[in-house]
Amino acid sequence: MSDIPTAGEQPTVAEKIFTFVDERVGLKLLAAKMLNESVPGGSRWAYVFGSILLFIFIMQAITGVLLMFYYVPTADHAYASTQYILHDVDYGWFLLSYHFWGSTAMVVCVFAHMSQVFLWGAYKKPRELIWLVGLALFALVMGFGFTGYLLPWDQRAYWATTVGVEIMDKMPVLGDFLARFLKGGPTPGQMTLSRFFVIHVMVLPAALIALAGLHLFLFRCAGPAGPFRGAPAELKAKTDYFFPRQIWKDVVGMAVVFACISAMAFWEPVVLLEEATPDPGDYHPEPEWYFLFIFQHLRLKMFSGELGQFLGSMGLPGLLGVMLVLLPFFDRNPERNIFKRPFALIGWVMLTASILLFTVSAIINRDFLD
């Protein structure tokens, strides 16, 4: 009987389970649909940043959950529990430092990812919605950085939050309400810690998962933009699928980022300052480095006075945000080559240069304070 399979051809248990699920949900087709995504012009190392951001987020979620096994968000024990993680729990120092450097890597990669989309002209029709959701994701990442900074409840945490919330307070009409809402009162304390904690570990992750899902869905709807030059025939000849070459490049990128974050955690593990108190002592308050440029330009004379303060802390960053939101709707020219879009190129260079300039000058300024 030819239709009875011989012993060597018996499907394994794993194959049987796969077939069982496949018959019911169309696993093979789903996997094919996921993996066989055309990458116009072929896979590139330049396309790894989106996947890397997803990887960094997953690692932040994992290390964050692990930290919560020991951390308590109370004003009297947040500091002690963080010190306990750093000094007593096996590998606690590594996981906490990984989480800290992971946030830095996140900001760096978000900047790279956004710059790339901007320079490649990938925000243009039909990809406006991907860009908008991406901007919202950027805001969430900044929110993660701001709320997470308070949780160790040391001097650095306390003062960065104090100043950050004061900045928010300068927003017209809503400012006072927002600042009190975040602080849970007139001054930072237990209510602030509780609010920042729940925003950091519940609200922002839920929002990020939802928006990142939407971001990916919209990306799949529109497809990758591909290179901005090259004849259709040339692009077609170089086209391959997401799997395996792009995935391979993505995974190598993730491994490199993982190694870099781990190395930073080894070489520069997190060290807490004194426990938070409204008396700063010798401590010079300063925000995390990626907020330094905003912090530094508020030292300029032109941003003094009530109006100046508002312009410097909320007005200019807000204006930049609005411009980024409106960008794909005003820039209707289908040309994607950055070398044929002088305003875009000059704008990006100027913004990047001024962020660099203010960040570096903030670092140099430290020497004049000691």
Contact set with another protein (CB under 8 A): 29, 32-34, 36-38, 40, 42, 66, 69-70, 72, 77, 80-81, 83-84, 88-92, 94-95, 220-223, 232, 235-241, 243-245, 247-248, 251-252, 254-255, 258
Buried b vs exposed e over 80-89: b needs ≥16 C-beta within 10 Å? Answer: ebbeebbeeb
Give the burial class of 131: count Cβ atoms within 10 A of its Cβ; 0-12 exposed, 13-18 middle, 19 or more buried. Answer: buried
Enumerate residues 6+ apart whose C-beta is below 8 A from 364.
Answer: none
For another protein, the closer CB: 29 or 300? 29
For another protein, the closer CB: 111 or 258? 258
Q: What's the CA gap between 170 and 23, in Å, rounded? A: 59
For another protein, the closer CB: 88 or 335? 88
The structure tokens listed for 269 are 């593990």
For another protein, the closer CB: 247 or 316? 247
For another protein, the closer CB: 258 or 283? 258
For another protein, the closer CB: 26 or 318? 26
The structure tokens listed for 288 are 């995390």
Q: How far is the CB of 274 from another protein (least distance, A)?
A: 16
Q: How far is the CB of 249 from another protein (least distance, A)?
A: 9
Q: Kindly calculate the radius of gyration of the chain based on its CA atoms and give it in whole angstroms.
A: 24
Q: How far is the CB of 101 from another protein (least distance, A)?
A: 15
For another protein, the closer CB: 10 or 36? 36
Q: How far is the CB of 319 from another protein (least distance, A)?
A: 34
Q: How far is the CB of 223 from another protein (least distance, A)?
A: 4
Q: How far is the CB of 60 from another protein (least distance, A)?
A: 14
Under a CB-based contact definition with an 8 Å cutoff, are residues 277 and 158 in contact?
yes
**Which among 138, 132, 145 is positioned nearest to 214, based on CA atoms?**
132
For another protein, the closer CB: 141 or 254? 254
Under a CB-based contact definition with an 8 Å cutoff, are residues 332 and 125 in contact?
yes
H/E element, 348: helix 342-365
The structure tokens listed for 357 are 């300039």
Q: How far is the CB of 71 from another protein (least distance, A)?
A: 10
Q: What's the CA gap between 304 and 180, in Å, rounded? A: 23
Q: How far is the CB of 40 from another protein (least distance, A)?
A: 8
For another protein, the closer CB: 194 or 365? 194
The structure tokens listed for 280 are 């700063």
H/E element, 333: none
Q: What's the CA gap between 263 and 267, in Å, rounded? A: 6
Q: What's the CA gap between 84 and 160, in Å, rounded? A: 23
The structure tokens listed for 89 are 């729990």
Q: How far is the CB of 241 from another protein (least distance, A)?
A: 6
Under a CB-based contact definition with an 8 Å cutoff, are residues 143 and 199 in contact?
yes
